[in-house]
Amino acid sequence: MKVLHVGAEIFPLIKTGGLADVMGALPQALLARDAQVRLLLPGMPAIMQGVVRQRLVCEIGPAFGAARVRLQLGEVQGSGVPAYVIDAPYLYRRDGNPYLDADGAEWGDNQQRFALLGWVAAHLAGGEIDTDWAPDLVHAHDWHAAMCCAYLAAHPGPSVASVFTVHNLAYQGLFDANDYHLLGLPARFMAHHALEFHGQLSFMKAGLAYAQRVTTVSPTYAREMATEAFGFGLDGLIRARGTDVSGILNGVDGTVWDPQTDPRIGANYSSRTLRGKADCKARLQGQMGLAADPDAPLLAIVSRLTEQKGLDLLLEALPALVGQGAQIAVLGTGDADLEAAFVQAAERHPGRVAAHIAYDETSAHRMVAGADMILLPSRFEPCGLTQLYGLRYGTVPVVRRVGGLADTVVDASAAALADDTATGFVFGPATAGALAGAVERAIAVYRRGDVWQAVMRRGMAQDFSWDPAARDYIALYRSILGHGGD
């Protein structure tokens, strides 16, 4: 079975969120199950540098506003996964965020930049660009790659199977409908049942409407997307797809996230020997300017600072949490108002609250390893990887009961504590009071040392590797292709 994965970012080369982690880990897990996997990536600077041993596959010529487009084939440095790279300097050779300019505004030509990604994917699938290799199935990830499903549908040749994965329905790739002509698609594709969305052009709809199967990154989020509350105006289309839509839970790359071997943290540890975690906590308190108090419950937030993540609820609850004796450490960037609010909270509560308005992988690992709890009070959360990292590192999650958070954390009810199935603390309403109540329950258990360690160890014993997801994707691919996939 030959599968082409199409995405805009990949860990460790370029990352703005969980999509990069999926693109970095899932293909490796599929290769381990004997699928023939290749990637297609846009030639952004970090990708051009990190895909090594490149050779020219095809001179495509001018396309989508770029005077020169070439397709290269190499392999991702470190993993060895084969990867095509679209070398289009005019569209992709830009520093910083892959989607936003230095002022935080979307690049004005994002429509062309990501239409090209989908167009090349469709023509690769049709065997027109690389005569030595063509996939049996194209797997497109999020709106940036979704147009490949429309281009496949418009292609006059034999149909190629397609899967589209929604990583976050809130980000849809919406563009001016007056620029539809730039896509090179027949007029019939600009209709309400196709790409038109309330007078705009939606890349997300290209995947939802034209992929043979639609997946998302957790079973609960698959159900939530079909509701008005979580569907962002696309719930009707998703409901219409019926059983074509499913959820497959993301995993964790154990070669990157493992407290026993992680080189980024201050001390290594395991569920059998937790002493190193106390060292990580002490170092984190020192690095963040928190009081050196080994008994204070240390709560971490490693997140984009956005309303989606429920961080306004945390700000409202913060005085109550500090009053319960908690320390709070925040790592992330995002909305300017939230960034400023967390900086001000740190100034009001010196030694108890700390905010590092930045993001880097080393700091993220140190936060997860050093904290006692990881907070995810999200209003919606397609999967969430941070709670999975927390479980793996014995950092107990406190989460809202939505999306992948509901699928991965077992609430520490009295019954779950008694039968040793609890792995975290879960709350329902999106209110500061509900969040504070969950943290209060968590701190009460934290004060019961042996019980707390049992919750930590139960979380660390969970299997959230990529192998189960790879198995489920292989089964999905085979069901679409109608054969054993050899």
Nearest-angstrom CA–CA distance, 255 and 468: 16
Rounded (10°) CA dihedral 84, 85, 87, 88: 110
Which residues are paired to 305 by β-bridges?
A: 334
pLDDT for residue 391: 98
For the chain, the three-class secondary structure string (H helix, E strand, C coil) is CEEEEECCCECCCECCCHHHHHHHHHHHHHHHCCCEEEEEEECCHHHHHHEEEEEEEEECCCECCECCCEEEEEEECCCCCEEEEEECHHHHCCCCCCCECCCCCECCCHHHHHHHHHHHHHHHHCCCCCCCCCCCEEEEEHHHHHHHHHHHHHCCCCCCEEEEEECCCCCCCEEEHHHHHHHCCCHHHCCCCCCEECCEEEHHHHHHHHCCEEEECCHHHHHHHCCCCCCCCCHHHHHHHHHHEEECCCCCCCCCCCCCCCCCCCCCCCCCCCHHHHHHHHHHHHHHCCCCCCCCCEEEEECCECHHHCHHHHHHHHHHHHHCCCEEEEECCECHHHHHHHHHHHHHCCCCEEEECCCCHHHHHHHHHHCCEEEECCCCCCCCCHHHHHHHCCCEEEEECCHHHHHHCCECCHHHHHCCCCCEEEECCCCHHHHHHHHHHHHHHHCCHHHHHHHHHHHHCCCCCCHHHHHHHHHHHHHHHCCCCC
pTM for the model: 0.94
Q: Which of 394, 443, 456, 432 minimizes the C-alpha distance to 296? A: 443
Nearest-angstrom CA–CA distance, 14 and 353: 30
Whether residue 187 contacts residue 156, with contact meaning beta carbons closer than 8 Å, is answered with: no
Whether residue 455 contacts residue 274, with contact meaning beta carbons closer than 8 Å, is answered with: no
Q: Which of 38, 159, 33 minimizes the C-alpha distance to 475? A: 33
Q: Which of 459, 436, 456, 437 minimizes the C-alpha distance to 448? A: 456
Nearest-angstrom CA–CA distance, 486 and 481: 11
Nearest-angstrom CA–CA distance, 195 and 140: 16
Whether residue 368 contacts residue 345, with contact meaning beta carbons closer than 8 Å, is answered with: no
pLDDT for residue 486: 43
**Dihedrals phi, psi of 424, to nearest 5 degrees:** 180, -160
* CA triple 93-95-14, angle to 5 deg: 90
In which order are the strands placed within the sheet that holds 137-141? 51-59, 70-76, 82-87, 36-42, 2-6, 137-141, 161-166, 213-216, 245-247
Tokens 């993540």 belong to residue = 309
**Total count of residues recorded for the chain:** 486
Scored b (16 or more CB within 10 A) or e, 342-357 reads bbebbeebeebbbbbb
Nearest-angstrom CA–CA distance, 112 and 255: 36
Q: Which of 402, 355, 393, 356 minimizes the C-alpha distance to 374? A: 393
Rounded mean pLDDT for each run of 10 residues along the chain, 486 residues in total? 97 92 96 97 97 97 96 96 98 91 90 98 93 96 98 85 97 96 95 95 98 97 97 97 97 94 96 96 98 97 95 96 96 95 98 96 97 98 96 98 98 97 98 97 96 98 94 97 64
Whether residue 232 contacts residue 172, with contact meaning beta carbons closer than 8 Å, is answered with: yes
* Structural domains of the chain sorted by starting position, each given as residue range(s) with its CATH number in brackets: 2-251+467-481 (3.40.50.2000), 275-460 (3.40.50.2000)
